[in-house]
Amino acid sequence: MDRHLAGSFQIPAGSMTVFTLTSMLTTIAFYDRIFIPVIRRFTGLDRGINFLHRMGIGFIISIVATLVAGFLEVRRKKVASAHGLINNPKTTIPICVFWLVPQYSLHGIAEAFMSIGHLEFLYDQAPESMKSTAMALFWTAISLGNYASTLLVSLVHRYSAGPGGSNWLPDNNLNKGKLEYFYWLITLLQIMNLFYYVICVKFYTFKPIETQRKEDGESTGNEVELAGHV
């Protein structure tokens, strides 16, 4: 894709993730300063929405981001075909790289909802003696996900192989591949994961916590409330 900004200056391909980070930081600021105060008036929760809802919103936005990436790949290949560049993988296709900004930004927004909601959930719901372990499990899950994505790519290479060694993710010429199919496969897996998440949320019970109310300097006993309502 055309990565030129001005003159001979080009955006390094690896720097496109700056849009993910920027959108994530912007979303965090918007969530804390605007979203929570507004939504709190309707829900009555200090957090605005609980962390389970926050993660669910993140899942949905992530699905949309991957779906957008698939349609954008279709658009990129159409431009390549219109200019006769299908067989020229090293030639720059005349389509601006900023077409990628929406999918990178959506992934950043999803991360702000999903990962932070996940951390809040683990910190709030884990037993007091296991909070550090819960944080470690969060990062362990991410590392296992990276291994799983590598395995998925390997399986796609193997089972999508066609005549002449072609597959969805060719090594030499992506213009002849089916990258959009790979994106839509991930979208399908995300939808299945979302349904599984909804089932887990439906049957989840918030951890009860004990609070002590004191009146006139004397303890009147213990009350039990749900952590999710704080």
Strand partners, 226: 208
Number of other residues whose CB lies within 10 A of the CB of residue 226 = 12
Tens-of-pLDDT digits for all 230 residues of the chain?
888 877 778 888 888 899 999 999 999 999 999 998 999 888 888 888 888 999 999 999 999 999 999 999 999 999 998 988 888 888 888 888 899 999 999 999 999 999 888 888 888 888 888 888 888 888 899 999 999 999 999 999 888 887 766 788 888 888 888 899 999 999 999 999 999 999 999 998 887 754 444 444 444 444 444 444 44
Q: Name the pTM for this structure.
A: 0.83
Rounded to 10 deg, the angle between the 179-203 and 51-82 helix axes is 170
Q: Give Cβ neighbours of residue 139 (< 8 Å, ≥ 6 apart).
A: none
The residue extents of the domains of the chain are 12-128+179-203
